[in-house]
Amino acid sequence: MGTKRVAVITGANGGLGYAIACRLLDSIPSSVPLTIVITARHLRKAVETISRLRAYAKGRDLLTFDYVLLDLTSVSSINEVSNQLLSRYTHIDYLFCNAGGGDFTGIDWPGAFVEILSGPLNALTHPHFKVERCGRISRDSLGWVFQMNVFANYFLMKQISTLLSGGGRVILISSIESRIAHEFNPEDIQLTHSDQPYVDSKKSLELLHTAIAKRWADELGVLIYITHPGICHTSIMAEYLNFLTTFGMLCLFYIARWIGSPWHVVSPYNGALAPVWAAVNAVPEADPVEGVTYASASDRLGRCYVKRTDDVTDEDRKNAAILLEELDKLVQDSLERVRLESS
């Protein structure tokens, strides 16, 4: 019997998060005691997810589940979840920072049609036709998308760093769409003036990784990997698609894969390969945490593998330092906000 392991997966109630939980169950031997802590915004979703995972792992005796209710757009919620984890556990082996979202308002269908006809592979890999709302602010007076996708992850990591220290692994999940992000703007760190805050937030998440990966590894013994799931079918744009457009999208994904795209892994389970591999199988001596993104990829026949990309520049490192300074200030401001609310 192996040493008990504890994994926390944010946003595990569907899509990539649920697939990460399933792939984790398939990657860790059943002889190893394992606790999976899922986060969800609502109790019903948490209970349903645990029920589904129990059925998936039927017959696995050394498996337990736990949940916490987490709202990434509320610093009070993040702080409360941190306190719950600190009170329940002495160590966390894996933290998958999967939850997040975008403030999408629709799809520019004429633009999508033109873009796909002009360059189908590029359009299906780096689409510009998803329409995002600009300027949404959270209840904490932060950029809404920035808070969900960047700040909330850092705040949670900081709050439970003692549980991660000495061997814990944090898996940050970016997106291949970060390749079309705007240049980092120190005057708009919270992305409230960006017309594509979701895309830009994923680039900011990569900058955060650049800023802290080596420091946390050296000072805390925490390995932080940045990964992305390739391109797979999730529910992030589901409200703007119907049966026919969803079917058409999946057909285009398979076509893109067949004509040579390594990124169209199609299913969330395939997309979960790189995040789970980084948590369970990556070897620090051979798989460095700094300056590398590990992505889920696939060959033409759908055989998946982890693809490594090295694309951190000196400019990225400079911008990463600026971002980290702002994030540390926001952490202090948030802790003060929580203190005042509880007094």
Is the pLDDT at 135 greater than 60, yes or no? yes
Decide: pTM greater than 0.75.
yes
Mean pLDDT of the chain: 93
What is the spatial distance between Cα 129 and Cα 132, in angstroms, rounded to a whole number?
A: 9
198 catalytic, yes or no?
yes
Which residue type does 155 have?
F
Confidence at 151, pLDDT banded by 50, 70, 90: very high
pLDDT of residue 141: 95
The model's confidence at residue 227, banded by pLDDT at 50, 70 and 90, is very high
Active-site entry in 82, 138, 178, 202: 202
95-107 in b/e form (b: 16+ CB < 10 A) is bbbbbbebbbeeb
pLDDT of residue 2: 57
Domains of the chain: 5-342 (3.40.50.720)
pLDDT digits (tens, 9 = 90+) for 295-330: 999 999 999 999 998 878 999 999 999 999 999 999
Amino acid at 252: L
Q: Which of 18, 198, 225, 294 is catalytic?
A: 198
45 part of the active site = no
- Among 173, 167, 209, CA closest to 12: 173
Q: Of the listed 82, 138, 174, 201, which one is catalytic?
A: 174
Question: Does 202 qualify as catalytic in the annotation?
Answer: yes
What confidence tens digit (pLDDT) does each residue in 18-49 have?
999 999 999 999 999 999 999 999 999 999 99
SS3 string, 41-64, reads: CCHHHHHHHHHHHHHHCCCCCCEE
> Residue 260 to residues 32, 198, 251, 263, 270: CA-CA distances in angstroms?
39, 27, 15, 9, 17
Query: Distance between CA atoms of 103 and 105, rounded to whole angstroms?
Result: 7
Mean pLDDT of 228-234: 89
